[in-house]
C-alpha cells in the first residue's frame, strides 16, 4: 500500500497538506535519497527527509486516530523541550508504541484548561487552520472596571498590534469588587489573544482557563494534569468539523479510559509518575 507523500508528511505532523505540497515543490523533501516530486507515493520502508532531517512515519492503517483531552495546569509549556522550562504538557501523556502525540494548538505557560492531543497530524493541522473557525470558550478572572460599554466594545472589536479582534460572546460569572469572572468566546487562536483584548480596554487577566473547544467541554471530574481519551463519536465530531472522513471503532481505542468513565485514581497515579520522571531529569 502506498500513499501520497504530502498526506504522509501531514499525518506525521510536519505541516498541513497544502504546506507540504509547497515544501515538496521547493525540492526540500527526499525519498530514499532522491529529491521528491509532487505526486510521489510512498509506503512502508521508504526513508523520508525534510530539509535533511529524517521523518518518522507510519501507514494510515497502522496508526488509529486517537484524541486525548488534557487538563493543562499553569506552569507547563506546549513544547516537547525548552532549556528554560522543565515542565511540558507531553510529560504526563500515555506512551505510544508507534507515532507520537501532536498538540492541537497551544496554551501559554500561565493559561490552564482544555488542550487536545491526537495521533493524526492531518487532523491537528486542519483543526488549527483559521479557515475552520473552531469556537473556543475561556473562563477569565479580570481585574479592572468593566462597564457595559467595555463589554460592548469587546463584542464589536478592539484593535491589536496584529489586527482587529473580538469576542463573539461575553458573559459575567460573578465575583466581588474589581476582581470578577467572565466567560468569553472567540473563534481564533492567536498568541495571548484573550489577555491582549482585555489589556486593550485597560483590564488585566489574572487567571485564564480554556473550558470548551467546539462542542467539547472540559470534564468537571478531570483533575489538573489528568487526561482522558475521547470516544469514537467525539473524534468523528472533530473530523466532520474539518471535513475528514469518520473512523470506525478500533480495539486500541476501545481499551482505553474514556471521558464518560474517568478513573480518578488511575489519573492521579499517572500524574505522580510524571512528577517522578520530571524529578529524574538532568
| Structure confidence by residue, pLDDT tens digits, 125-170 | 889 888 888 999 999 999 999 999 999 999 999 999 989 999 999 9
Is 46 part of the annotated catalytic residue set? no
Closest CA to 183 of 159, 167, 163, 165: 167
Q: Which residues of the chain have pLDDT under 50?
A: 252-257, 260-261, 263-265
What does the pLDDT read at residue 253?
44
Task: Yes or no: say if 227 and 94 are a contact pair by the CB < 8 Å rule.
Answer: yes
Q: Which CATH architecture has domain 67-130+216-279?
A: 2-Layer Sandwich (3.30)
Fold equal for 67-130+216-279 and 135-213: yes
CATH of domain 2-55: 3.10.290.10
Tell the residue number behind the cell numbers 501520497, with chain if given: 4
Q: Which CATH architecture has domain 135-213?
A: 2-Layer Sandwich (3.30)
> Please, what is the angle between helix 17-25 and helix 121-128, to 10°?
100
Length of the chain: 282
> What are the domain boundaries of the chain?
2-55, 67-130+216-279, 135-213
Q: Which of 51, 82, 108, 202 is an active site residue? A: 108
CB count within 10 Å of CB 45 equals: 6
| Structure confidence by residue, pLDDT tens digits, 30-55 | 999 999 999 899 988 899 999 999 99
Amino acid at each position: 500500500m502506498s500513499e501520497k507523500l504530502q498526506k504522509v508528511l501531514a499525518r506525521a505532523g510536519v505541516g498541513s497538506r497544502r504546506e507540504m505540497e509547497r515544501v515538496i515543490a521547493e525540492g526540500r523533501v527526499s525519498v530514499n535519497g532522491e529529491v521528491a516530486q509532487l505526486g510521489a507515493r510512498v509506503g512502508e520502508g521508504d526513508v523520508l527527509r525534510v530539509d535533511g532531517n529524517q521523518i518518522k512515519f507510519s501507514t494510515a492503517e497502522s496508526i488509529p486516530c486517537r484524541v486525548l483531552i488534557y487538563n493543562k495546569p499553569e506552569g507547563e509549556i506546549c513544547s516537547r523541550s525548552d532549556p528554560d522550562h522543565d515542565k511540558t504538557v507531553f510529560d504526563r501523556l500515555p506512551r505510544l508504541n508507534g507515532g507520537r502525540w501532536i498538540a492541537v494548538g497551544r496554551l501559554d505557560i500561565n493559561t490552564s484548561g482544555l488542550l487536545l492531543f491526537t495521533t493524526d497530524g492531518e487532523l491537528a493541522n486542519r483543526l488549527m487552520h483559521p479557515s475552520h473557525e473552531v469556537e473556543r470558550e475561556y473562563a477569565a478572572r479580570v481585574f479592572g472596571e468593566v462597564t457595559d460599554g467595555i463589554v460592548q466594545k469587546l463584542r464589536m472589536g478592539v484593535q491589536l498590534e496584529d489586527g482587529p479582534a473580538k469576542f463573539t460572546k461575553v458573559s459575567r460569572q460573578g465575583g466581588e469588587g474589581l476582581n470578577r469572572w467572565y466567560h468569553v468566546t472567540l473563534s481564533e487562536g492567536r498568541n495571548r489573544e484573550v489577555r491582549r483584548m482585555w489589556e486593550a480596554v485597560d483590564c488585566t487577566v489574572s487567571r485564564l482557563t480554556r473550558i470548551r473547544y467546539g462542542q467539547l467541554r472540559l470534564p468537571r471530574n478531570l483533575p489538573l494534569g489528568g487526561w482522558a481519551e475521547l470516544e469514537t463519536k467525539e473524534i468523528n465530531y472533530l473530523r466532520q468539523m474539518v471535513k475528514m472522513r469518520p473512523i470506525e471503532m478500533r480495539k486500541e481505542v476501545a481499551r482505553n479510559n474514556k471521558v464518560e468513565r474517568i478513573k480518578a485514581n488511575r489519573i492521579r497515579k499517572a500524574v505522580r509518575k510524571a512528577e517522578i520522571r520530571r524529578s529524574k531529569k538532568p
